[in-house]
């Protein structure tokens, strides 16, 4: 009941929210149309395929099959056909659900460059302990 009420109130709330702002109805339609078109296309595909999925006797397996088709068609339509892939990847990166590529600065590198070994210090000791610690006490 609450979900149905909320769906009825969406349009008046959006109209009220944009009142007095620079947001136009065209801006709202432009942002809402890719997901709406994608879900409409996915629903049509599921309805067309219901002739075949209706042959699945167990209701749970039919639900899983139809939901899988719906989600797959929706994601393909939204990300690739409606060209929204970069928007949603950016959204996932901003929410820190998707790994980001961190650029290394010039003074940071993946491998540490060690200076040449000091006289009397074995090279393997310098690699293990660094340039300041070594076997200098053995001299």
CB contact set of 26 (below 8 Å; sequence gap of 6+) = none
Domain residue ranges of the chain, discontinuous segments joined by +: 12-94, 103-139
Reading the block at residue 54, the tokens are 């209706």
pLDDT tens-digit series, residues 45-81: 999 999 999 999 999 999 999 999 999 999 999 999 9
Residue indicated by tokens 């944009």: 18
How many Å is the Cα radius of gyration of the chain? 30
pLDDT class for 83, splitting at 50, 70, 90?
very high
CB contact set of 53 (below 8 Å; sequence gap of 6+) = 46, 62, 65, 66, 69
Helices (H), 19-94: 25-53, 59-76, 85-94
């Amino acid at each position: 009941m609450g979900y149905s009420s909320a769906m009825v109130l969406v349009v008046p709330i959006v109209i009220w929210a944009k009142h007095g702002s620079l947001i136009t109805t065209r801006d709202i339609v432009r942002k809402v149309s890719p997901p709406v078109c994608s879900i409409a296309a996915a629903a049509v595909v599921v309805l067309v395929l219901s002739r075949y999925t209706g042959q699945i006797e167990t209701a749970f397996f039919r639900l899983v099959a139809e939901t899988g088709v719906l989600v797959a068609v929706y994601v393909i339509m939204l990300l690739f056909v409606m060209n929204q892939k970069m928007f949603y990847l950016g959204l996932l990166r901003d929410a820190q659900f998707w790994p980001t590529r961190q650029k290394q600065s010039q003074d940071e590198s993946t491998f540490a460059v060690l200076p040449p070994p000091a006289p009397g210090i074995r090279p393997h000791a310098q690699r293990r302990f660094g340039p300041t610690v070594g076997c200098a006490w053995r001299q």
